[in-house]
A and B are shown apart, each in its own frame.
Chain A
Amino acid sequence: MTQASHPRLVATFIYVRTMTVFVAIWALVAWLTANPILLPSPLTVLGAAYDLARDLELFQHAGISLGRMVISIGIASALAIPLGLAMGLSRRFERIVDPTIEVLRPISGIAWIPLALFIFGIGDALPVFIMTYAAFFPILLGTVGGVRAVDQRLVDAARTMGIPQRTIVTRVVIPAALPSLLVALRLGVALSWTAVVAAELIGAPSGLGYAVEWYRELLMTPQVMSFIAMIGVIGYVCDAGVRWMNRRFAPWAQALR
């Protein structure tokens, strides 16, 4: 037990030490520039973050952005996973759909923002659309790749045993494709989280991206930095969450972590 926790303890110590040095340099530079709008001191930022947290403002915006992301990932999965299964299972279907996908894929979600602004206006629909679009392609490609990589002998064995196609898909193909799908989901979450900030910065009346921009216009840099930190924290927590799901639901795919 002690042996297992020892390296972790050392890693934590090194992390704290490194970040202490980083914060000390930051404090020094802040003190030298002496311009709290350009670079507030770490303590000022911490104070601002504490106030924002106490007023729950930090968590309200975070909750809104997070909620939008969950909805987007849900929609993207509901669209991309069945489509990916169909594309992975049927060569002919893939050949018909794939070029259309490949034409759209290089257009980043962010490039859709002006058109989507025109269609949806400023509000909830715009960030959700942009995030869904951003998450759709990695999830689709991961599903197709996962289905394609299923060991053909397993499918053949199931077929030999007279198992119907639908059961083969649910009991053989999907479990075998799950690791690849979860890796894709991780990528989708990361991309949609990047996109939400851009979408909210430009076209939403709430959320973390909006809050960052709002406080920048007010030149309240400590608040800006607090919200930026929150974006990082949630990005990290989401990634850790998907990795946890990976371990929990596809423990046989440790290598893919």
Chain B
Amino acid sequence: MNVKAANPLERYGAGAILPIVLLLAWQVVGAALHSPRTPLPSRIVAAAVTLVASGDLPMAILQSLGRVFAGFVVAALIAIPLGLAMGNSRAVERNVDPVVETFRPIAAIAILPLAILWLGTGTAAAVMIVAYAAFFPMIVNTVAGARNVNPTLLQVAATMGLKRVTIIRTVVVPAALPSIGVGLRIALGVGWTAIVAAELAVGAKAGGGGSGGIGQMMFVFYAYSIELNRIIVCMIAVGLVALLLDRLLRAAMRALMPWART
């Protein structure tokens, strides 16, 4: 069953064949077209070196990441307390849940036109989109975590005459943390996707009006200079950052909450 424990060289050796073959085929076929614009693996590497060396790409990524973290924090500040309250009190849950469930199916990107209308095409609108996108996975997982606390623990705490607030702080929150962590991890991934979409759309609709970020950068390469190699570099960067964020949060959860098993 546990194949992952097998010789890693053997495991990745087989897997490396397909990507290498695909890349080589792409390079050969693409080069045969003799068109200076056709994206080729070699040109993509060159474009990546240029973009990283000039600092443009790292700057754009940092700008997007800053927005993601801002939106993420805003969402967490609202979703976690609210989710804990909903998970602990049936009355709060019943009264708040309809609003959450009504807005949950609305994709964050659909809110973008309203965000632009209210907050303009700058950072504020992008942060709002991320916060909206991140809010729902956070609150759903916080509620689930707070509700699935072992009832015996709650009874013990109540028997000892602890105040409700103390019970929440010392029993509910630690027990719900693994689930909250899952929510945060999903929210970060969703937020990163949302920021790329928001910046792309802002770039597309605001006539490239400078809002910056990696999404905007991609759109500029598409709309103004048609540099496909650079677009692909940005796509790879988007994927790498997504992967890195996920790994970082996973590692952080393992380090901070060793009792959570997933």
Interface residues of A (CB under 8 A from B): 11, 14-15, 17-19, 22, 37-38, 91-92, 95-100, 103-108, 110-115, 117-118, 193-194, 197-198, 201-203, 208-209, 212-213, 215-217, 219, 221, 224-225, 227-229, 231-233, 235-236, 239
Given A11-B94, A96-B14, A231-B107, 15 other A-B contacts at CB below 8 A? A18-B96, A106-B242, A111-B239, A114-B200, A114-B222, A194-B107, A194-B108, A194-B109, A209-B109, A215-B113, A228-B111, A228-B114, A231-B106, A235-B106, A235-B107
A38, chain B: closest CB distance, angstroms: 6
Contact in complex: A235, B105 (CB < 8 Å): yes
A131, chain B: closest CB distance, angstroms: 12
Binary per-residue interface labels of chain B (230-244) against chain A in the complex, 1 for a CB within 8 Å, 0 otherwise: 011011101110110
Expressed in whole angstroms, the Cα–Cα distance for A37 and B242 within the complex equals 36
Contacts of B97 in A (CB 8 A): 18
Contact in complex: A95, B107 (CB < 8 Å): no
Complex interface: stretch among B17-25, B53-61, B151-159, B161-169:
B17-25
Contact in complex: A216, B109 (CB < 8 Å): no
B253, chain A: closest CB distance, angstroms: 18
Contacts of B102 in A (CB 8 A): 19, 232
Contacts of A227 in B (CB 8 A): 110
Most buried by B among A22, A97, A111, A219: A111
Contacts of A194 in B (CB 8 A): 107-109
Contact in complex: A239, B105 (CB < 8 Å): yes
Name the contact of B196 in the complex, choosing from A37, A110, A208 (C-beta under 8 A).
A110
Name the contact of A92 in the complex, choosing from B14, B201, B246 (C-beta under 8 A).
B14
Expressed in whole angstroms, the Cα–Cα distance for A19 and B100 within the complex equals 10
Contact in complex: A113, B200 (CB < 8 Å): yes
A-B pair count, CB < 8 Å, reads 156
B99 CB-CB contact with A under 8 Å? yes
Name the contact of B222 in the complex, choosing from A97, A118, A228 (C-beta under 8 A).
A118
Expressed in whole angstroms, the Cα–Cα distance for A232 and B114 within the complex equals 15
Contacts of A115 in B (CB 8 A): 222, 228, 231-232, 235
> Which label, helix, strand, loop or mixed, suits the secondary structure of the B interface?
helix
Contact in complex: B242, A108 (CB < 8 Å): yes
Interface positions of B from 205 to 253, Cβ below 8 Å from A: 205, 218-219, 221-222, 226, 228, 231-232, 234-236, 238-240, 242-243, 246
Contact in complex: B113, A106 (CB < 8 Å): no
Contact in complex: B236, A107 (CB < 8 Å): yes
Contact in complex: A216, B196 (CB < 8 Å): no
Contacts of A215 in B (CB 8 A): 113
Expressed in whole angstroms, the Cα–Cα distance for A115 and B242 within the complex equals 19
A41, chain B: closest CB distance, angstroms: 15
Expressed in whole angstroms, the Cα–Cα distance for A95 and B16 within the complex equals 9
Contacts of B17 in A (CB 8 A): 96
Contact in complex: A110, B197 (CB < 8 Å): yes
B193 CB-CB contact with A under 8 Å? yes
Expressed in whole angstroms, the Cα–Cα distance for A96 and B16 within the complex equals 7
Contact in complex: B98, A15 (CB < 8 Å): yes
Contacts of A92 in B (CB 8 A): 14
B116 CB-CB contact with A under 8 Å? yes
Name the contact of B99 in the complex, choosing from A18, A104, A235 (C-beta under 8 A).
A18
